[in-house]
A and B are shown apart, each in its own frame.
Chain A
Amino acid sequence: MLNVQFKKGVLELCVLVLLDRQDRYGYELVQKISDQIAISEGTVYPLLRRLTKEGYFTTYLKESSEGPSRKYYALTDEGRQYLHELLREWDEFTNGVNELIKEGVSDE
């Protein structure tokens, strides 16, 4: 597993990516992420709250066919801009690491 100090930033990227195409509710976001990465699910909520307060998301309540209404998160323009910034950094970073791995493997 990656260094823990690095993962928190990645979690932020995951949430932003999931909201790029469609609005989602908290539970859905948590499940989508935990299907792929081992996380303590509860820590997604503080993240959602922080990003909402920073103006990257807005929230609204929507009735659901089964049971009570759910809180949906929607990406704002500011949030989308931030997502693209993070994606660019992520690409640069992973490209760099992949390049180094390739060189390392071919040396052997």
Chain B
Amino acid sequence: MNKGQFIEKLNDALKRLPSSEREDIINDFEEHFEIGLSEGKTEQEIAASLGSPQQIAKEMIVTYRLEQVEETASTGNIFRAVWAVIGLGFFNLVIVLGPFIALLGILFSGWVIGVTFLLNPVLYLLNVVIYPEVFELYGLFFTIALCGLGIFVIIGMYYVTRWLFKGFIRYLNFNVRMVKGGMKDA
């Protein structure tokens, strides 16, 4: 691979990044090639020791995605960041995707419980309309209590969700810092 091919591949793999970000990255590698050439190395030698442009691009994208998530922790940003980290390699697929699915499972069930409790009076009323003969006062109190509990569960889930996502982003950061990459046999 010569300089042109290397830069082209890198640029290609980075096309999802904003152009200012991408140009900045490309500049660093142009500079790297230029200094290497001035030291008497060939373009091929330099490209070979740099390694795979696709792998470099993946790492760059992860850095960018994690930065985005820290700026605004929207659901879309979190998913994009998780996706980018998983893309780094098979090992990350296992140690990132597993916990992430578990996390989503916990959050999903929590929200479902909250919403069901909250909507319980609706179900109760529906029941009363359909079977008016089974109306019981204790059922009414019970359903009102559940509804109240539902409100608390939902408020609780709001904080739990934010807290868990924050924790997971820290876990992603730790992953990017410690796991895999950089070394020749990595």
Physical interaction between A and B: yes
Q: Please, how many angstroms separate the alpha-carbon atoms of A11 and B63 in the complex?
A: 16
**A-B CB contacts (within 8 Å), total count:** 104
Q: Please, how many angstroms separate the alpha-carbon atoms of A101 and B25 in the complex?
A: 43
B46 closest partner in A (C-beta): A41
Interface SS of chain B: helix, strand, loop or mixed?
Answer: helix
Quote the shortest CB–CB distance from A93 to chain B (angstroms).
13
| Interface check A47, CB cutoff 8 A | yes
Whether B32 lies near A40 (C-beta < 8 A) is: no
CB-defined A-B contacts under 8 Å, sample of 26: A1-B183, A5-B178, A7-B182, A8-B179, A9-B178, A11-B182, A26-B28, A26-B32, A27-B32, A38-B183, A38-B184, A38-B185, A39-B182, A40-B186, A43-B51, A45-B25, A45-B29, A45-B60, A46-B56, A46-B59, A49-B60, A49-B63, A67-B35, A68-B31, A71-B28, A71-B31
Interface residues of B (CB under 8 A from A): 25, 27-29, 31-32, 34-36, 38, 49-53, 55-56, 59-60, 62-63, 67, 91, 176-186
